[in-house]
């Protein structure tokens, strides 16, 4: 997890010579309880930094249905959260820290053309291509809901307090 953060930071620093706020396009959607927001064109590193500032990460596509949702709502020319962890390496990770399971590479991809294709974009057919992180694409942000204390937990805690008060009253009697 920390390693990923350091790597993301490295990519961010390498790509972002001048930090500038990346705006949103106004296109957004919801899938499986998660909220998705589209960013304006930027490098992959700037897009991931903007995603973090919005409380999420670039999208981690965890299955075919999520891939199809992203393709339909946001289309091609978009960054997803997948990144190559080392120049020339074969290992890709999600910037969110999600485990990499489902993949949907385009034919002959990832080809690492030129040796520095360390970021991943979505094609119009929903397949994936590794691409230089300095290229400009619309980042897709995935924001997971913040867990709230459940009613059940609050109820148990409340009963505990009532129980303690009852015991104290018994002792006093
Ligand atoms: Ca996801
Ligand atoms: Ca490629």
Query: Regarding beta strands 24-31 and 137-143, do their DSSP bridges make them parallel or antiparallel, or are they unpaired?
Result: unpaired
pLDDT of residue 17: 46
Q: How far is the CA of 99 from the centre of ligand 2 (A)?
A: 22
- ω into 92 cis (within 30 of 0): no
Domains of the chain: 2-148 (3.10.100.10)
pLDDT of residue 120: 98
Give yes or no for a contact between 82 and 74, defined as CB atoms under 8 angstroms apart: no
Which residues, by Cβ under 5 Å, contact ligand 1, an ion? Answer: 60, 62
Ligand 2 center–CA 51 separation, angstroms:
23
Centre of ligand 1 to C-alpha 4, Å, is 17
The residue written with tokens 């709502």 in the block is 73
Q: pLDDT band for position 18 (50/70/90)?
A: very low
pLDDT of 164 reads: 73
Q: Evaluate if residue 143 carries a pLDDT over 70.
A: yes
Mean pLDDT, residues 43-59: 98
User: Is 6 in contact with 125 (CB distance < 8 Å)?
Assistant: no
Average the pLDDT over 7-28 and give the result: 69
pLDDT digits 0-9 by tens, 105-130: 999 999 999 999 999 999 999 999 99
């Amino acid at each position: 997890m920390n390693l990923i953060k350091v790597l993301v930071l490295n990519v961010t620093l390498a790509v972002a010579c001048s930090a500038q706020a990346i705006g949103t396009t106004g296109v957004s959607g919801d899938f499986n309880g998660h909220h998705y927001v589209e960013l304006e064109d930027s490098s992959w590193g700037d897009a991931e930094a903007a995603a973090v500032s919005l409380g999420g990460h670039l999208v981690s596509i965890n299955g075919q249905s999520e891939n199809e949702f992203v393709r339909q709502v946001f289309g091609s020319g978009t960054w997803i959260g997948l990144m190559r962890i080392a120049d020339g390496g074969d290992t890709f990770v999600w910037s969110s820290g999600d485990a990499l399971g489902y993949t949907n590479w385009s034919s002959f991809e990832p080809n690492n053309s030129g040796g520095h294709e360390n970021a991943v974009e979505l094609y119009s057919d929903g397949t994936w291509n590794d691409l230089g992180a300095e290229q400009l694409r619309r980042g897709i942000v995935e924001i997971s809901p913040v867990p709230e204390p459940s009613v059940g937990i609050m109820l148990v805690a409340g009963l505990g307090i009532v129980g303690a008060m009852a015991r104290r009253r018994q002792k006093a009697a």
